[in-house]
Structure 1
Amino acid sequence: MKQTSRLLILLIILLAFWLRLYHLPDLPPGLNFDEAGNGAAALDILRDGPRLWWRIGGGKEPLWPYIIALTTTVLGNIPLALRLPAALAGTLTVAAVYPLTVRLVRQSGLRQARAAGLLAATGVAVSAWHLHFSRLGFRAILLPLLASLAAYFFLRGLKTWPARRSFVLAAGFTALAVYTYLAARLFPLVPLIYLLVLFLRNPNRAAARLRAAQAAAYLGLTVLFLLPLVIYFARYPADLLARSAAVSIFNPAWNQGDLPAAVWRTLRLTLSTFAGLRGDANPLVNLPGEPAIPWWLAPFFILGLVDTLGRGLSRQGQTTPLLLLPIWWVVMLLPAILAPEGAPHHLRLIGTLGPTYILLAWGMVRLTGWLGRPARLAPAGRVLPALPYLILAALTFNSYFVRWPASTDFTLPFDLYAVRLASEIAAAPPETVYILPMDIRAGPEARHYTLDYLLANQQPRRYHYLPVDEANAQAVLRQAAASAQQLRVVRWTADKHIEADARELVAFLLATNARLVDRQAFPVYNIETYRPLAGATFTLPDIDRPAHTVFEDRLRLEAVYLPASAAPGTVLPVAVRLFPLAKMTADYKASLRLVDPSGARVAQKDRVLLHPYHQGASLWPPEAVNEYYLLDIPPDAPAGNYTVTLVIYHPDTLAPLVAGGQAEIPLGQVRID
């Protein structure tokens, strides 16, 4: 029987490994932002040396980037280097769940330990929930593995106490989990609550000393291993809760002033995925709506949960180790309940994966054990458990490898556009430089990490990020033009930086210093190709013609820039400087107009007035704001003196702000010739 179990677990591990490597890394295609962010963190290690924390995506723990740094060194800057560690971690989790389950059952004094272990390992191996994360380069995939190892050595430590070796290993794996993923910070509660329950079942002085000593050993060793991270958070406390505070259910933005209702809704949605009723809707990590446990397996999970609770709290026999499972499951529900966004959130629930499939397996073992008691039903008791897992394996394969890619647009979730753009940049001729405008509000951590990772070895680098404000726009374009004959500017159409150039600073500088030679359209972005003009300086003009026009004591037009002449079929650059005199109640718009000698309007540009940090006029601080506009001059515009006018108006009512009794203020004349 022992040899058979070893052969079966080996086959299960091989099946898990095959499922996690099949068509990897091509499915899923591309690279998700978080995967590439892990790659960028790994590159920081390889380039600059050891680090303990990254502020990417709200905070990134260090263990996964160090693993990625190793695979990147071996394999190079390719997607497989980011995803192979996840496949290996997922496979090792299957291997770790087996001995943990066997120990739980045996240490509880029960039979069928190997059967339960084989079923639990099989469940993890063919789980679509686990398979998704085993093929993504997300650090969270380490949590089920490290938590299972920590639980195993904790249980062994209780058995071998007062020997401390197993407790050292349990604390070590717990610390590694905390060095991996935010949700793991709650895992130390699992052994501590379990020890408390053991004491409460036998509340005497000797038991109190024993459990206190065990708790102190486990917690003390865990804190000791976590000391570098503790010191870091003591120095930078804002990083400790940066991400969790933003998504917390206690944040009014999420609970909308009704915390009990928000908790109940999140709890109900979260539990529904374990009942087979609904699943994570995010196509990044799931076939949208597919529950973590299929509905037809949910009864086995519920049976296992009820049975372990009953046995764990029973005073008959040595059954308490099974109580670790429901404690573990409940504690690791908390990350998903305390952060209601996207419930049921399979990523935040990944800490429950181990106990979930062990409980499911135990429920099946208990049911088939009951069926197998009569002699005539004994064969059914042996065969029945295999059938649901065979069905689950077939459904998982179909769900992941057939239905998910057929029904999901991977363009944005997996940055397919960035992978394509990286290929274009890599193949571009040396005289070409790419410009990637960034929304100034996003900060430097909002770079395109897919580009940074895939192009890390490109020398010299042929793309520049441009966080768009007046100083950056001039400096970056000037630097790029100094080393390139051709500038390819990425214009985002569906990316987080879609409003990067909402004030048209980059457009203004390019229109006045370069010639547009090509425009291409792709999903998520367009590319405009420019050739710098001879002598181009990429300098914004001085807005130095005084105006001193006041709009209803709210806004003052201080100065204007207007060229003396322009040609038909070109653009006319205009700039104005505005200063708020009082708080405005609306985000006013400006309308720049070109009027021909007969009084007819031949060109017009309307745009919301924006501060350099994109605040509308209602949020402007008391400081001057420069606005830049391009007016398209018709190719057939006859020669003559044209007038440029300005109207400031309410965005909803369209009512203009009046200045000196006029709604349309002349800024000056320009010669079209």
Structure 2
Amino acid sequence: MAGACAGLLPYIYYPARFVPLLFLFFGISFLLPFRSMSLKRLQAELPWAAAFTGVAALVAAPILLHYLRNPDLFFNERIQTVFVFRKFQGAPLTTLAEVLATNVWDVLTSFSFRLLAGCCSPFEHAVTLNIWEALFFWLGVGIAIRQWNRSPAYRLLLLWVGLLFMPAFLSDARSTMRMGGAVPAVYLLVAVGLWETFLWIESRMAGRVKTWPSIFGTVIGVTVLIQATITYRAVFDRGMAVSPSHYDMIWPAFAHELNERPAEKDTVYLIAHRHDAFDYLYQGATPVVRIFSPVPDLDHQTEALLTEMGTVSTVKVVNWVDWSPTIEWRANFRANFLTILLDKHGTYAGTEYFDDIYVDSYVDVSYDRPWVLFEDLSQPVVYDGGITLEGLALGSSKKRIPIQQGFDTEQHRSLLVGMLWTTASKDVADYSVSLRLYSDDGAMVFQDDHVLRKPMEYPLTTSLWATQPVSTVFELEIPDELAAGEYELRMVVYDLATSTPTVEVGVWEPETTLGRVQIRPSGQ
């Protein structure tokens, strides 16, 4: 069983990178015990270790073969940036040690003592282990340490927990979900604590209470059954009810609704999102196409796709409401760029709403001119702070109905502003942008500020941006009191820490004019 669980670890995104270290250290633990070990005992333990390793290798073989054939997937950029304290690059070693110690303390104290601060998981209403589970867990840890030399199984459990906690220890995004690879070992250590407690009590009660093993086993069995019921209800009742977005339940529901629809003639749905449940459940007759192209390639890839399909008269862009705390790294950024692209080359025909999913429909899609997403900037804007605006994509303003439950159900207008950025080096400051609308008389009538972040990423420009262009998209929510008409869009790029603006080289003014935008009436 332990071998099978270990073999499943490489299939888990972050823990997979620590599995080689787990097997390496486990092997070394046989060669370098803390004290001498007899050859007889070593020979007795090796078959069990070989059985564990063999089962684990058999279970992990498919994914390991996949990684061998595609090593770039194992060492990709996302993985390389996860386990680095990006906010503290260049900081003294003492600062890094202090941050690491804080992370370790936060993770370990989540085992029954308190909730992990900043935890972004479906279980924000509960600590990782309850009191009695944590008691036996820490007891199991202590026993395993004491039995390190005598039991390879205990060595394995300690190494397993220690190494598979590392994604949580080293990450700047605190989340109990990064401990997922350690879960089997955690509960096995709970079992160790229970078992050793049973053996200890049995030795004290020997000859006095003959039914003691039955009593103890019954109590433990009933307790585990009760706890299993509580855990099930916490996950599938409270957890899903409090935070359904963590389970992406909107996508299975969307698939069921589309399945019930009749075939839509000459229509295609474009979805810039991957969800296996939707792919598995969708059986509808209307074509649904996934688009995962990098944003700079989105225009010609989408044009080629629609041209190849031929008779498409209606294109429906599927977008969804992402309630992430900052819009700069919401997962639907690519869908927003699709919306901008279809705004340029099609006619907006309305929006359909499916819970937290909304679908923008476009007709009269034109192929008379090449599709270019970032076409609204005549030339790059080079700033003296080492950052360059390479491209601009402006969408049409639309009337939206927010779908968030409980409040803010009035209609509002929004304008999408897509940008393409590059940096001269990794040493630029962290920047924010201030997007502003000016009327014809030169008065500023609207302002909206955003931190520059790479989509779907936490860090700011200093620690993440490299030589590749980075796309950002901002949604400007236009207030109802702003009259319809044409406005001039300007931007100020400023240092996030000091609020000092960086200026365009050769112009030396903080504000950059990006173009003119048309704002529709609030009732349309």
Equivalent in the alignment of 1:454 = 281
Structure 2 residue aligned with 1:336, among 164, 168, 189? 164
Equivalent in the alignment of 1:76 = none
2: distance between equivalents of 1:371 and 1:561?
76
2: distance between equivalents of 1:328 and 1:212?
13
Q: Which amino acid aligns with 2:195?
A: W
Structure 1 residues 461, 337: CA separation in 2 closer, same or farther (over 3 Å shift)?
Answer: same
Q: Which amino acid aligns with 2:275?
A: H
Residue 435 (1) aligns with residue 270 (2)? yes
How far 1:419 moved relative to its partner? 1.6
1: distance between equivalents of 2:389 and 2:147?
79
Structure 1 residue aligned with 2:29, among 193, 199, 209? 193
How far 1:400 moved relative to its partner? 1.5
Equivalent in the alignment of 1:515 = 348
How far 1:414 moved relative to its partner? 0.8
Structure 1 residues 478, 506: CA separation in 2 closer, same or farther (over 3 Å shift)?
Answer: farther
- Where does 1:444-483 land on structure 2 (aligned, <5 Å)? 447-455=274-282, 461-465=287-291, 467=293, 469=295, 471-473=297-299, 475-476=301-302, 479-480=305-306, 482-483=310-311
Contiguous gaps of at least 5 residues in structure 2: 325-329, 395-412, 519-524
- Verify the 8 A CA contact 1:574 1:629 in the aligned structure 2: yes
1: distance between equivalents of 2:75 and 2:176?
20
Structure 1 residue aligned with 2:321, among 471, 476, 493? 493
Equivalent in the alignment of 2:201 = 368
Contiguous gaps of at least 5 residues in structure 1: 1-92, 94-143, 148-173, 314-319, 439-446, 563-569
Whichever structure has more strand as a proportion of its residues is 2
Equivalent in the alignment of 1:390 = 222
- Verify the 8 A CA contact 1:284 1:413 in the aligned structure 2: yes
How far 1:647 moved relative to its partner? 4.2
- Verify the 8 A CA contact 1:559 1:576 in the aligned structure 2: yes
- Where does 1:18-33 land on structure 2 (aligned, <5 Å)? none
Structure 1 residues 594, 433: CA separation in 2 closer, same or farther (over 3 Å shift)?
Answer: farther
- Verify the 8 A CA contact 1:269 1:344 in the aligned structure 2: no
The SS at the match of 1:435 is strand
Q: Which amino acid aligns with 1:385?
A: G
Residue 352 (1) aligns with residue 185 (2)? yes
- Verify the 8 A CA contact 1:325 1:355 in the aligned structure 2: no
- Verify the 8 A CA contact 1:270 1:344 in the aligned structure 2: no
Residue 530 (1) aligns with residue 362 (2)? yes
- Verify the 8 A CA contact 1:592 1:606 in the aligned structure 2: no
Deviations 1:478-518 (A, max 9, x none): 7448443333223333174233366x673364255213333
Equivalent in the alignment of 1:35 = none
- Verify the 8 A CA contact 1:487 1:531 in the aligned structure 2: yes
Structure 1 residues 631, 590: CA separation in 2 closer, same or farther (over 3 Å shift)?
Answer: same
- Verify the 8 A CA contact 2:347 2:365 in the aligned structure 1: yes
2: distance between equivalents of 1:594 and 1:474?
35
Q: How many residues align?
A: 459
Residue 202 (1) aligns with residue 38 (2)? yes
- Where does 1:158-173 land on structure 2 (aligned, <5 Å)? none
Structure 1 residues 253, 343: CA separation in 2 closer, same or farther (over 3 Å shift)?
Answer: farther
1: distance between equivalents of 2:193 and 2:202?
14
Equivalent in the alignment of 2:399 = none
Structure 1 residues 208, 184: CA separation in 2 closer, same or farther (over 3 Å shift)?
Answer: same
How far 1:394 moved relative to its partner? 1.3
2: distance between equivalents of 1:561 and 1:240?
34
- Verify the 8 A CA contact 1:575 1:627 in the aligned structure 2: yes
Structure 2 residue aligned with 1:421, among 254, 262, 276? 254
1: distance between equivalents of 2:303 and 2:31?
63
Structure 1 residues 423, 601: CA separation in 2 closer, same or farther (over 3 Å shift)?
Answer: farther
Residue 327 (1) aligns with residue 155 (2)? yes
Structure 1 residues 184, 278: CA separation in 2 closer, same or farther (over 3 Å shift)?
Answer: farther
Structure 1 residues 433, 368: CA separation in 2 closer, same or farther (over 3 Å shift)?
Answer: same
2: distance between equivalents of 1:629 and 1:395?
45
2: distance between equivalents of 1:575 and 1:308?
55
Q: Which amino acid aligns with 1:388?
A: I
TM-score, normalised by the number of residues in structure 2: 0.61
- Taking every aligned residue pair, what percent have the same amino acid on both sides? 12
Q: Please give the root-mean-square deviation of Cα atoms over the aligned residues, in Å.
A: 6.3
- Verify the 8 A CA contact 1:513 1:536 in the aligned structure 2: no
Q: Which amino acid aligns with 1:433?
A: V
Q: Which amino acid aligns with 2:259?
A: A
Q: Which amino acid aligns with 1:389?
A: G
- Verify the 8 A CA contact 2:3 2:56 in the aligned structure 1: no
2: distance between equivalents of 1:521 and 1:404?
23
Structure 1 residues 653, 470: CA separation in 2 closer, same or farther (over 3 Å shift)?
Answer: same
- Where does 1:228-243 land on structure 2 (aligned, <5 Å)? 237-240=71-74
The SS at the match of 2:36 is helix
1: distance between equivalents of 2:180 and 2:374?
52
- Verify the 8 A CA contact 2:445 2:482 in the aligned structure 1: no
1: distance between equivalents of 2:351 and 2:251?
20
1: distance between equivalents of 2:124 and 2:381?
58
Q: Which amino acid aligns with 1:649?
A: V
Residue 649 (1) aligns with residue 492 (2)? yes
1: distance between equivalents of 2:26 and 2:4?
13
Compare 401-410 and 610-619 and name the one that shifted more.
Answer: 610-619
Whichever structure has more helix as a proportion of its residues is 1
How far 1:415 moved relative to its partner? 0.7
Structure 1 residues 452, 343: CA separation in 2 closer, same or farther (over 3 Å shift)?
Answer: closer
Equivalent in the alignment of 1:156 = none
Equivalent in the alignment of 1:405 = 237
Equivalent in the alignment of 1:484 = 312
Deviations 1:22-52 (A, max 9, x none): xxxxxxxxxxxxxxxxxxxxxxxxxxxxxxx
How far 1:363 moved relative to its partner? 2.0
Structure 1 residue aligned with 2:127, among 289, 297, 320? 289
Structure 1 residues 475, 424: CA separation in 2 closer, same or farther (over 3 Å shift)?
Answer: farther
